[in-house]
Chains A and B, each alone.
Chain A
């Protein structure tokens, strides 16, 4: 091969990279630093005074309690790490299914296991006290939105996983019209989000002739306010509310029991409609990678379809499931479009996850500095979640056994 002058080839390569990298640099990398910069100022459209960490103090109130919260998180991380240590190689040593894990551990591993629980309890304790205090001293709207985000994740991800898996499994058999169903199930995901949300906003409108209220009418239940309803689900179903004890630590946690607001549940309905098909598609892909011989072998052994599902399919799908859970949780923290369309100011923030709150502060109140600080917090949370998920799933995943 002929000798090329190195710098010529370098130059050419850089030329190829220039267009995309210049855009990535300006709009993808530089903004990260710029955000940090902006968050240090009082910035309402125009740059104001230098504030240092004042914005962050406004978010968390007392930075001491933030330290406690971080301590709680560290303990949780420690607990996971210890647990990981205590469970290594354990499956290799088991001789029969369901053997007691504690018996299989070396003494050192048992210590790890016990310590992991202790760390977990310590972390939980710290969390129990720090979160309410942060709520009281800091930006309560921000922590409310954090709570909404948690409810949103809890409500969205399991439902979508179960729904998607069920659909994928049902469509795995050959039957007439299967192709048609396959097309139809992905349709909600294909539909542009704003259009779909616009339709859903009508479906769940508080007017008595809305679709949702008509369904309730058929069941003999009075019409609801749906997207405007800020009361929690538990409150509405049982009449129980946190009451006046709101300003204490216990009171704060009691308000969690009220459950997600009905407004949020309506939004979750939309989420479920859109994403079940998408999850089904990914699961179907995973299912198609299970070799037919496994099914046949199971049939020969006389296994019922149900046990085939739980004992063969489910464990083999665990990489896919893990991936989708990770994707789902991170996605809920970042999701914006459909919630923005469906939310209503009258719900008083009961359906505003963190991403929406940040945007409202930015777009609605023009507090750029504060919004920037909030977005940094969100970024850190998302990064933390990614790390946590990676760790927690390590001992659950079966790869190609």
Chain B
């Protein structure tokens, strides 16, 4: 809370003010910029200095990743929950095991793989690996399992194929969890640092996380620019949070409790 106020306050100061006009007490006037001289231009400057394009990149990356997660996880979860096939349990256990692997072990070999594929610095490298979400499949499968089979049977009797049943009946019934997964997937991709850092070389597809990092060193002592950049970075997520607060807290609790 306090740090966020500090961020906003500092982002509106001039450079000179960040050095001379300081206080750790939010009730002290020095904490805040001069009211007649609010430097909104800081936001413009940091946007143009790169934050703008980084922001755009992150939006694209996160959206594509989320779509990818949905497209891959929904059928898989549906298959595990409603279809019968050979090797079902084995494959499910394998999926379970992948959840226990920590991310760091995967970074180095995946980097080598991606380099071999020629995907360095491309959108593909930034999105495809994130679509592998055993966790999302588990979550969805749990909810799909709650759909009474009788419902699906009646559709089948009416002549619908599995695919049709999935699309028209099952999916609408799991809207809540779908939102959860979309939110988690989106923020996961939005917040990712280690992988994009490794996989981007130039500014082309650099996401906000990496961009902010570089921005920190480039902007140097210009705290007010950095604060403006950080504010831009967190604004969309915070806005979404304020609007969809209930769903988001539910999403977090669900993913936490089910682990």
Contact = CB atoms under 8 A, between A and B. Distances in A.
Interface of A: 1, 6, 9-10, 12-17, 19-21, 23-24, 26-32, 34-35, 38, 183-184, 186-196, 198-203, 209, 211-212, 214-215, 217-218, 273, 278, 281-282, 285, 323, 327, 333-334, 336-337, 340-341, 355, 358-359, 362-363, 368, 371-372, 375-376, 378-379, 382-383, 386
Contact of A20 (B73, B112, B257): B73
A341 B162 CA distance: 48
A11 to B, nearest CB: 8
Given A31-B109, A191-B237, A192-B209, 17 more contacts: A9-B83, A9-B84, A13-B83, A20-B76, A24-B134, A27-B110, A31-B106, A35-B106, A35-B108, A192-B233, A195-B212, A196-B3, A198-B216, A202-B227, A273-B3, A323-B259, A341-B193
B150 interface: no
Contact of A201 (B109, B216, B237, B245): B216
B128 interface: yes
B80 to A, nearest CB: 8
Contacts of A376: 105
Interface in B86-139: 86, 88, 91, 94-95, 98, 100-110, 112-113, 128-129, 131-134, 137
B104 A334 contact: yes
A27 B107 contact: no
Interface of B: 1, 3-4, 6-7, 10, 18-20, 22-25, 71-73, 75-76, 78-80, 83-86, 88, 91, 94-95, 98, 100-110, 112-113, 128-129, 131-134, 137, 153, 162-163, 187, 190-194, 197-198, 208-209, 212-213, 216, 223, 226-227, 229-231, 233-234, 237-238, 241-242, 245, 248-249, 252-253, 256-257, 259
Contacts, number: 237
Contacts of A192: 187, 190-191, 208-209, 233-234, 237
A282 B257 contact: yes
Contacts of A203: 3, 6
Contacts of A379: 101-102, 104-105
B226 A198 contact: yes
Contacts of B73: 20
A187 B209 contact: no
Contacts of A281: 249, 252-253, 256
Nearest to A282: B256
A10 B4 contact: no
A283 to B, nearest CB: 10
A375 B101 CA distance: 11
Contacts of A14: 85
B131 A35 contact: no
Contacts of A10: 85-86
27 contacts: A17-B79, A19-B71, A20-B76, A23-B128, A26-B113, A27-B110, A27-B113, A28-B98, A34-B109, A38-B112, A186-B252, A187-B241, A190-B238, A192-B237, A194-B208, A196-B3, A198-B230, A209-B20, A211-B6, A282-B256, A337-B192, A355-B104, A359-B104, A368-B112, A375-B104, A378-B104, A382-B102
